[in-house]
Amino acid sequence: MTGELSVVIINGVPLYGIKRFPGIFSEKLDPVYMKFTSLPAAIKKEVDILKTFLLERFGVLPNICKVDFLKLNTGYEILEVELIDPDLFFRHIPHGMRDKAISMIYKSFII
């Protein structure tokens, strides 16, 4: 795989993956969306470890975050964890997840 594989997490729930590669922004190519359940087991495990760390360290999970992974010879490594701008998030959300994601974000702010 060339490029990054990102996981969008809302309120601690990993919703989907985004396969990003060179040209997505410069050539306006479409990212490839993937169901979280279809991502490699190593990525799912890293997401669980990250969630545990954030809860133990800060006592709370971010409302919205994107976790970028890079595939190396040894497996997948977390490249960065980014609290993302909601505008960027809504411009790059798969249509099948839009209603669920918006509902989850809304609930996180009214509770």
The percentage of the chain sitting over the pLDDT mark of 70, rounded to a whole number, equals 78
Q: How confident is the model at residue 21 (pLDDT cuts 50, 70, 90)?
A: low
**pTM, to two decimals:** 0.75
Asked, for residue 11, whether it belongs to a domain, the answer is yes
Give the mean pLDDT of 57-74. 88
Report how far residue 47's alpha carbon sits from residue 16's, in angstroms, rounded to the nearest whole number: 12
Residue 3's domain comprises: 1-40+59-97
Asked, for residue 45, whether it belongs to a domain, the answer is no
Asked, for residue 110, whether it belongs to a domain, the answer is no
Mean pLDDT (the chain) is 81
Q: What is the pLDDT of residues 8-20, one digit of tens each?
A: 998 889 999 988 7
Local structure of residue 37 (DSSP, 8 states): G
Asked, for residue 54, whether it belongs to a domain, the answer is no
Total number of domains constituting the chain: 1
Asked, for residue 51, whether it belongs to a domain, the answer is no
Asked, for residue 109, whether it belongs to a domain, the answer is no
- Cα 14 to Cα 9, 26, 63, 74, 100, distances in angstroms: 4, 27, 11, 23, 12
Residue 88, pLDDT > 70, answer: no
Asked, for residue 1, whether it belongs to a domain, the answer is yes
pLDDT of residue 41: 92
